[in-house]
Amino acid sequence: MGVLTADEQLRARLEFASRLGALGADARDLAELFRALYAETARVMDTTVFLLAVYDEASETVQVVRQMDRGVEHEGGSFPLGKGFTSEVIRTGAPRLIRRWSAEGPPVRLLYGTEAGELVTPQSGVVVPILSGDRVLGVLSAQSYRAEAYEDADVLSLSAIAAQAGGNIKRLRATEQMALEHERHALQLEAVLASMNDALLIVDARGAIVRLNRAARELLCLDSASLVFGQPLEPQRLEQWPATAREIAAALVPVIDALRSGTSVAEFEIELRSGKRRVLSLAASALRPPRGALQGGVIVLRDITGQRDLERLREDIFAMAWHDLQTPITVIKGHAEILRSQLSSGGGDPKAAKEAASTIVKRADALAALALTLFDVSCLEAGLLSIAPWPTDLGAVARDVAEGIRSTAGHDIEVFADENVVGEWDDRRVRQVLVNLLSNALKYSPEGSTVSLSVAAVEGSATVSVRDDGIGLDGTELAQLFRRGYRAESAKHTPGQGLGLYLAHGIVAAHGGRMWAESPGHGRGSTFCFALPLGREHADPPVEHRA
Ligand code: ADP
């Protein structure tokens, strides 16, 4: 640079100062910032070699963003904090003027330098820190192949440029940070949406679906071909959707209309009737930033069929229990009243008193059994039916249950049981099943007829069958027998709740077994059977029979 007059110097400084304010403001990344800094530095000093480096405190690494060497821009690179002038300035945070490099500092190899093989060494340089408060964000360095190319004024100028660079680096880092944050949030949101069991749809301000999560795709049974994102739900497009999806879409249309007008929709329920009955709860929130235009909305659909069914079951059970508990309670109360008046008057017929007492006991037992059945059925429905398997001799249990029932039955009960049909079953639960089948056989067949109970081990299963000569069942009835609350028309004049077989079937299934019924038709008797899996010891002969 030529020698300037004092006026020229002042003007140059003022111009420099006014340019500094805007320096690097447009830079979108560090490389662009480097170019802006180079252009400005080149105006005021020798920039034969010029570099911008940023410093990463965590890894103590210096990253050279770019390097200029004799007008050619080179890629940067990284190196650990070392002993050179750049590292020294980073460590001390103070600028460094190197008038004669060979005399003052360690020999320098321009790491990012030029032609291969040529070891070029600058002869002078100025290195200034880029600061943010006390922290060193990086350095700016201008170097020359001439000795004494720089003086104190250059240190000041480069420091002024570096101060400007500091603000820019902070701004760029903040934007980068924000972009990372943004990306992180997006990833988190993506993971939440994918793992949600609730179906979620996002619509834009025009009401077009712009996003669906996995659950929504499954609920709507949509493949990617059926839904074109970003297009409003129009009737002609919906025609290609599966029936269930069309039903849901019909419910969505008014919700989307509400969202388009910026109104959220409180939770409400819809019942799907095409295909399997399903109950869905639907709610929607409009997306409106605190300041700014409506962005559309989020719709959440939840399958609450199970919940509603359970509630309905509880109501059914309650209604059923209310009805079936009333009668025995009235009978018990009536007979207890008779007993009480007899006891207080001291007189009365002892035989009648005894009958009243046994009626009370019988009805109380029936009440207890009904209460237990109701409890077990609600456990079964909730998937909480407990099974405690234990080595159990099925023949012995069958004989025992038949014995207990025989004493009060007006029927002939025969038992045919193989010896040692032993497996890991819940004794109490198996008894429940046997009691249900035997008492049904007695209930639905005429007094004096024969009921046969057989137990046999057949091909890895223990099979039990209960045969009666009673009212029998037709094909339609046989198909529905194990449904909760089912009672055949022909059984309606016999008291019952239609819960016993449902529970028995559930107990057998919980043991890994199966239950079925056979009948040649009305009035021709029926056979109820169940099979329980035998343990491995039964599958592998020889079997050691225990006495
Ligand atoms: P409940 O006997 O209390 O009605 P269950 O669940 O035990 O309830 O039986 C359901 C229905 O199955 C009965 O109402 C009856 O219609 C039919 N059923 C059960 N056992 C027999 C049987 N041995 N013979 C004919 N029908 C039967």
Ligand 1 center–CA 501 separation, angstroms: 7
Residues with a CB atom less than 6 Å from ligand 1: 436, 440-441, 444, 468, 470-471, 473, 481, 486-488, 491, 496-502, 526
Residue listed under structure tokens 């002993």: 83
Q: Which atom of ligand 1 is nearest to the CA of 436?
A: 7
Q: How far apart are CA 259 and CA 294, in angstroms?
A: 9
The 10s digit of each residue's pLDDT in 484-506 is 889 999 998 888 888 899 999 99
Q: How far apart are CA 466 and CA 415, in angstroms?
A: 9
Residue 177 has pLDDT above 70, yes or no: yes
Tell me whether the omega of the peptide bond preceding residue 289 falls within 30 degrees of 0, making it cis. no
Greatest mean pLDDT among 11-25, 30-44, 212-226, 275-289 lies in 30-44
Ligand 1 center–CA 147 separation, angstroms: 111
Confidence class for position 408, pLDDT limits 50, 70, 90? confident
| Paired tokens of 84 | 């050179």
The 10s digit of each residue's pLDDT in 40-53 is 999 999 999 999 99
Three-class HEC string of 290-340: CCCCCCCEEEEEEECHHHHHHHHHHHHHHHHHHHHHHHHHHHHHHHHHHHH
pLDDT over 90 for what percent of the chain? Answer: 48
Q: How far apart are CA 20 and CA 13, in angstroms?
A: 10
Name residues whose C-beta falls within 8 Å of residue 230's C-beta, 6 or more positions apart in sequence: 204, 208, 209, 210
Q: Are 510 and 387 in contact (CB under 8 A)?
A: yes
Q: How far apart are CA 187 and CA 151, in angstroms?
A: 52
Distances (CA, A) of 429 to 227, 346, 389: 51, 45, 9
Residue listed under structure tokens 């007979």: 335
Nearest CA to ligand 1 atom 2: 496
**Which of 462 and 101 is assigned the larger pLDDT?**
462
The β-bridge relationship of strands 199-203 and 209-212 is antiparallel
The 10s digit of each residue's pLDDT in 349-375 is 888 888 889 999 988 988 888 888 888
Q: Which atom of ligand 1 is nearest to the CA of 466?
A: 23
Q: Report the chain's mean pLDDT, rounded to a whole number.
A: 86
Q: Which of 44, 52, 48, 63 is nearest to 121 (CA)?
A: 48
Ligand 1 center–CA 468 separation, angstroms: 12
